[in-house]
Amino acid sequence: MAGYYDLMLEDGKVERTRARGQFRKKGQKPLVGDWADFESENGEGLIWALHPRENSLVRPPVANVDLAIVVTSVVEPAFSQNLLDRQLVALEAEQVKPVLYFSKLDLLSDQEQAAFREKVSLYQSIGYPVIFAGNDLKTSFGPLLKDKVVVAMGQTGAGKSTLLNQLAPELKLEVGEVSQALSRGKHTTRQVSLIPVKEYETLIADTPGFSSYEVFDFPAEELGNYFPEFREVAVNCRFRTCSHLNEPGCAVKEAVNLGSISAERYNSYELFYQIIKGKRPVYQKNSAKWKTDRLN
Annotated binding residue at 103? yes
Distance of CA 104 to the CA centre of its chain: 19
Annotated ligand binding at 137? The verdict is no
- Under a CB-based contact definition with an 8 Å cutoff, are residues 234 and 242 in contact? yes
- 79-102: b or e for each residue (b if 16 or more CB lie within 10 Å)? bbbebbbbbbbbbbbbebebbbbb
Helix 263-277 / helix 251-258 crossing angle, nearest 10 deg: 140
Q: Is 104 annotated among the ligand-binding residues? A: yes
Is 258 a known ligand-binding residue?
no
Is residue 157 part of an annotated ligand binding site?
yes
Rounded to whole angstroms, how far apart are CA atoms 40 and 50?
Answer: 16
Residue 292 annotated as lining a ligand binding site:
no
156 is in an annotated binding site: yes
Beta bridge partners of 210: 155
Q: Do the annotations mark residue 224 as ligand-binding? A: no
Nearest to 48 by CA among 246, 292, 287: 292
72 is an annotated ligand-binding site residue? no
Query: Phi then psi for 144, rounded to 5 degrees?
Result: -75, -30
- Is 154 annotated among the ligand-binding residues? yes
Whether the ω angle into residue 77 lies within 30 degrees of 0, i.e. cis, is: yes
Confirm or deny that 160 is annotated as ligand binding.
yes
Longest dimension (CA), the chain: 69
Question: Annotation-wise, does 158 bind a ligand?
Answer: yes
Q: Which residues are annotated as a binding site?
A: 103-106, 154-162, 237, 242, 244, 250
Q: Which residues are annotated as a binding site for GTP?
A: 103-106, 154-162
Q: Which residues are annotated as a binding site for Zn(2+)?
A: 237, 242, 244, 250
